[in-house]
Amino acid sequence: MFQQLKNIETAFKHVRLFTFVLIAACMAICCFAIYESYRMVSEANGRIYLLANGKALEALSAERKTNLPVEARDHIKMFHFYFFSLDPDEKVIEDNISRALYLADETAKQQYDDLKEGGYYAGIISGNVSQQVTADSIQVDMAIYPYHFKYYGVQKIIRPTAIVSRNLVTEGYLRNVSRSDNNAHGFLIERWRILENKDLDIQQR
């Protein structure tokens, strides 16, 4: 009889040990399933699908600080593109300058007003002149806020009789503002000024 009781006690210990192991395994599986579900949901939320020309393109979202230098350089590049890309058409000039002024403060508006008062834009229209700008390099100091930048580019002025290439060096500061349809990067250029704008080359047509 004692042997039978001993066997029952041993069997109970085995059953109890098996129960504990089973519970631990179930808990581990549940924790793993929860973790994997959370990870998959996070990855799915990080994917963005863009529709372009009838095709769905996948993009990955990231925190702004990851792409801050890239966004800053592109903001500066687009401002200079809109401000200096002109054609002999009053509507084109107004549209481009309007887009540029959304990206900068009153220092850019003052520069535009000075050029307008000096007859610069009227000369472009009457002389059938086109103007293009190409960025060579853009340096942004992201260590100190507001972020100081320098823009180096080449300005090409296309006249009916000649093509004039001019160097263009500007500087200013970037501060953070809210994103909008008119300012997708969420920056504003402040204290912008032209440091250098001299002829490099003249090609006769």
Which tens digit of pLDDT belongs to each residue from 56-66? Answer: 555 555 555 66
| Domain definitions of the chain by residue range | 2-48, 64-204
Dist. CA 185–CA 24, nearest whole Å: 50
Question: Per the CATH hierarchy, to which homologous superfamily does domain 64-204 belong?
Answer: VirB8 protein (3.10.450.230)
Please tell me the predicted confidence (pLDDT) of residue 35.
Answer: 81
CA 39 → CA 33, 46, 64, distances in Å? 10, 11, 21
pTM: predicted TM-score of the whole model, two decimal places: 0.70
Q: What number of residues does the chain have?
A: 205
Dist. CA 64–CA 66, nearest whole Å: 5
Condensed to tens digits (0 to 9), the pLDDT of residues 80-90 reads 999 999 999 99
Contact criterion met (CB below 8 Å) for 22 and 14: no
Condensed to tens digits (0 to 9), the pLDDT of residues 88-109 reads 999 999 999 999 999 999 999 9
